[in-house]
Amino acid sequence: MTTGTTNETESVYRISVRRALAADDAKALQLHFDVTVLQRYLGAPGFSVIRTNTVGRVKKEGGWALDFGISPDEMALHAAFGEVARLPEDERAHWASCALAGPSSSKFLQMRLAPGACYDDGEVRSW
């Protein structure tokens, strides 16, 4: 079941970005993950995964919990950077391995990972 329109989602997302920028605090910005990230926890001893139509939570008994949103097609999840960053190191690595990239420039991302490296991305051109 899907709820909310694309315009509503974009509007709310833009508000969250505006607030994060105004506060100079990226902890609330959303990271996106393939839904397969949950396979590690479903049915595993000591873990519970619950959901409604559009939100969910994965919880380690006696340990951490992470709340997440569910995309309308149920193929992706999203969670706040600050909450994912508080997970134990091995859990952060697991979530990172399931991260989804939005529409991005792979060259730009590579440039950010290795500043000063040389990348051939074609000639400078006009819009």
Give CA separation, 88 vs 34, 39, 65, 94, 95, in Å: 19, 18, 11, 10, 11
CA–CA gap between residue 109 and residue 75 (Å, rounded): 24
pTM for the whole thing? 0.86
Token digits of residue 63: 């340990």
pLDDT(5) > 80:
no
Q: CA-to-CA distance for 77 and 70, rounded, in angstroms?
A: 5
**Model pLDDT for residues 11-38, shown as the tens digit of each residue:** 999 999 999 999 999 999 999 999 999 9
pLDDT tens-digit map of 40-87 = 999 999 999 999 999 999 999 999 999 999 999 999 999 999 999 999
Cα gap 109→91, rounded to integer Å: 23
